[in-house]
A and B are shown apart, each in its own frame.
Chain A
């Protein structure tokens, strides 16, 4: 079946970087873009960025001021989201979502930022 499976929860110190993976299966990975969205407790989802999985083009939210990088490995049908210079306010659940509209979502990866 169509699904995207994300990597597990991470605990990071302020200033560190984290890289989250999102492995797709059940469909042709390069036929659909992948979005990344994060959600802090009790808050609305916040869009992080997007990758065209076919050609690797990316778009990012300006809210992250160059701290986020989204990549993909087509041989592994996997997208990655790396966030650097972590701050306490980056603590959230990070989701990947397939498609122009996010019709398939991962279960989320909880990022905790704590010294």
Chain B
């Protein structure tokens, strides 16, 4: 099973700042990694797939990079609605599909 480790656990920033979230895989997942945003009481929302492709309707301030075992989600300039929990997820060596433990982005 591929273990995904996200860092930091919590990131405290202000609107307008740049956010950098990391996800490290226990073995190579090639580019088959996604990022999701989740707000309280809501389902996760797909932001990035295949490491660097924005999902439909996702603003350009969200970008993803990386391959193999190290991945980054960058939010170039934080908007108030971006404060949420972010999860990475891999789908290369499955089953099972696995998720990271999440990064909480707080104001």
Contacts and interface: CB of A to CB of B under 8 A. Distances in A.
B56 A61 contact: no
Nearest to A63: B96
Contacts of B102: 44
Contacts of A62: 95-96
Contacts of B46: 101-103
Contact of A45 (B42, B45, B87, B94): B87
A108 B95 contact: no
A105 interface: yes
A47 B96 contact: yes
A47 B95 contact: yes
B56 A103 contact: yes
Contact of A44 (B43, B55, B56, B101): B101
Interface residues of B, number: 23
B13 interface: no
Contacts of B45: 105
A50 B94 CA distance: 11
Interface in B37-57: 42-46, 49-50, 55-56
26 contacts: A44-B99, A44-B101, A45-B44, A45-B99, A47-B95, A47-B97, A47-B99, A50-B97, A61-B96, A62-B95, A95-B43, A95-B44, A100-B91, A101-B34, A101-B46, A101-B49, A101-B89, A102-B36, A102-B44, A102-B46, A103-B46, A103-B49, A103-B55, A103-B56, A107-B43, A108-B43
Given A95-B43, A101-B89, 14 more contacts: A44-B87, A47-B95, A47-B96, A47-B98, A59-B94, A61-B96, A63-B96, A95-B44, A97-B44, A100-B91, A101-B50, A101-B91, A107-B42, A107-B43
